Amino acid sequence: MFFVTYLRRELRRRMRQAIFIALGLALGIGLVVTVAAASAGVKKAQSGVLSALYGVGTDVTVTGAAPGPPKPGSKSNNDQNNYGLQAGPNGQTEICTSNGKCINAAGKTIDQLTASYAGIGQSRVAEAARLPGVTAAAGGITLTDNTTTFGHSSSSLPQSSSFTLDGVDTGKTSLGPLSGASLTSGHSFTAADADTGVAVVDSGYAKSENLKAGSVLTIGGVKFTVIGIVRQSQASSPPDVYVPLARAQAMSLYAGSLKGEVTTIYVAAASAADIPAVSKEISGLLPGSTVTTEASLASEVTGSVTSAAKLANDLGKWLAVLVLIAAFAVASLLTMAAVARRVAEFGTLKAIGWRTRRIVAQVLGESVAMGIAGAAVGVGLGFAGAAIISSVAPKLSATVPGSSGAFSLAAGQAVGPGQGGGVPRRPGTTASHVVAVPLHPSVTVGVIVLAVILAVAGGLLAGSFGSWRIARLRPADALSQVA
């Protein structure tokens, strides 16, 4: 075909210039692809952190207010699982129950359960599920079990340990903390486990406590049989143990029990566009509660992953744009120069009957061919850039916010008898923590398509300047230049 032959021969004639233009475009496009891949990787890393925080499929999380201390004379003060500490007459530490009985703490272990948030009536879960834009809602309870062991000597420091515990709706495990977990052994909850003494344990906790499927776990004096071990992203600071919601509600807590209540409601919206409206509706339904979405949580997650996101989005994007502009400018200038050198050739073609648009098509074809070559090399450079980032970039980290609502036991506070002979318990606090975030830049099909479009656009832009000159060319003037 004459068009292709002419195009090919002309590019071969000015091979060096064609390579220079293609490489310039390749550099710009390679940078765009690399930055887009890095951005996609950082975004994926951020999403991984955020979705792990309250599980896949959960769009809105509702938590109660921070739990307050038990009111004097309230039922919780008479609960046998509530304890307090005070200094005895001889300076020893004493454990006191709510009925005022105090014993020496030496050699004793106290085990205390506390809720991370104040309770929300369980009926609110069904109300939230009926809100417009909501596809599902599930309730959950977040507890912390703190164990303190006092030494036999008054000079030895008490040893504390704690683990976190989540009560989950076993009929809706696709929402909430278990939704992102993957089973490593045994089996997970079924709807039939709604009020049974079974537990699922996080793999990290299972390893440290030497637990496996079939092991028996005691929580707040109640025995649970481990039915499965799961693994979760550590970014989510997953609970150590999961039990059916009804069993968690029945547990005796420091500040009372959560019978008929939940501390967290997990809500799935019909679509991403519905999330803001759903958040607003829930805030209206539950004033005083804390409503969080991925967007609001995103602003709380800090660390180098956030800095990397800013770097990719701001500096990276603008650098890529600037390099592309420079590449387009150089391509345009060189194409115009090439057209200027071929004025006599184009004048001759006009003289022998070629229409301007046919000559313009030839020049545009040459420019687009260089652009496509630039795109091919640029995508390759982009892949290489993404691979380099993957191998040499420093590990990212994310500082995720911790749960709140814990409080300290005041000295002299009335307490009740506890696990292991009556030992007071201290409510726990989950602080913010840093998690390592893997960065895997990914070149998507969309980015490749964008690269080709940019390259073709660059070629067309470069060719259009030359085409403008051809359109204005008068054959007589062009031929007189040869003479």
Does 15 bind other proteins (CB under 8 A)? Our answer is no
Identify the residue among 273, 352, 431, 445 touching other proteins (CB under 8 A): 352
Structure tokens at 402: 């911790």
Name beta bridge partners: 94. 86, 104
- Strand 264-269 with 60-63, pairing: antiparallel
Angle of helix 317-341 relative to helix 445-471, nearest 10 degrees? Answer: 30
For residue 264, give the nearest of 116, 145, 76, 56 by alpha carbon. Answer: 116
Nearest-Å Rg of the Cα atoms of the chain is: 34
Does 223 bind other proteins (CB under 8 A)? Our answer is no
User: Please, which of residues 117-146 interact with other proteins by CB under 8 A?
Assistant: none
Report, in Å, the least distance between residue 358 CB and other proteins.
Answer: 7
User: Please, which of residues 358-377 interact with other proteins by CB under 8 A?
Assistant: 358
Cβ-contact 419, 110 below 8 angstroms: yes
Q: 247 burial class (0-12, 13-18, 19+ CB within 10 angstroms)? A: buried
- Quote the CA–CA distance of 140 and 410 in Å, as a whole number: 28
For residue 408, give the nearest of 66, 109, 100 by alpha carbon. Answer: 66
Residue span 292-331 as binding mask against other proteins, x where in contact by CB under 8 A, dash where not: ----------------------------------------
Question: Using the 8-state DSSP alphabet, how is residue 472 labeled?
Answer: T
- Quote the CA–CA distance of 401 and 411 in Å, as a whole number: 29
Identify the residue among 124, 172, 350, 425 touching other proteins (CB under 8 A): 350
Report, in Å, the least distance between residue 341 CB and other proteins.
Answer: 11
For residue 139, give the nearest of 252, 264, 55, 28 by alpha carbon. Answer: 264
The alpha carbon torsion through 152, 221, 78, 120 (nearest 10 deg) reads: 130
Size of interface with other proteins, in residues (CB under 8 A): 26
- What does 314-359 look like in DSSP terms, one character per residue? IIIHHHHHHHHHHHHHHHHHHHHHHHHHTHHHHHHHHHTT--HHHH
3-state secondary structure of 27: helix
Identify the residue among 5, 153, 155, 391 touching other proteins (CB under 8 A): 5
Report, in Å, the least distance between residue 471 CB and other proteins.
Answer: 10
Does 10 bind other proteins (CB under 8 A)? Our answer is yes
Report, in Å, the least distance between residue 354 CB and other proteins.
Answer: 6
Task: CB nearer to other proteins: give 226 or 478.
Answer: 478
User: Please, which of residues 463-482 interact with other proteins by CB under 8 A?
Assistant: 474-476, 479-480, 482
Stretch that binds other proteins, among 2-10, 204-212, 257-265, 312-320 (CB under 8 A): 2-10
Identify the residue among 60, 349, 389, 451 touching other proteins (CB under 8 A): 349
Report, in Å, the least distance between residue 364 CB and other proteins.
Answer: 17
Stretch that binds other proteins, among 254-262, 329-337, 353-361, 382-390 (CB under 8 A): 353-361
Helices (H) and strands (E) in the chain, counts: 14, 18
- Quote the CA–CA distance of 356 and 290 in Å, as a whole number: 68
Report, in Å, the least distance between residue 17 CB and other proteins.
Answer: 14
Report, in Å, the least distance between residue 4 CB and other proteins.
Answer: 12
Task: CB nearer to other proteins: give 350 or 425.
Answer: 350
Task: CB nearer to other proteins: give 187 or 355.
Answer: 355
Stretch that binds other proteins, among 105-113, 169-177, 225-233, 347-355 (CB under 8 A): 347-355
Identify the residue among 222, 325, 351, 449 touching other proteins (CB under 8 A): 351
Half-sphere exposure (Cβ direction) of 74: Cα atoms closer than 13 Å: 13
Identify the residue among 171, 213, 345, 383 touching other proteins (CB under 8 A): 345
Binding residues for other proteins, per CB under 8 A?
Answer: 2, 5-6, 9-10, 12-13, 344-345, 348-356, 358, 474-476, 479-480, 482-483
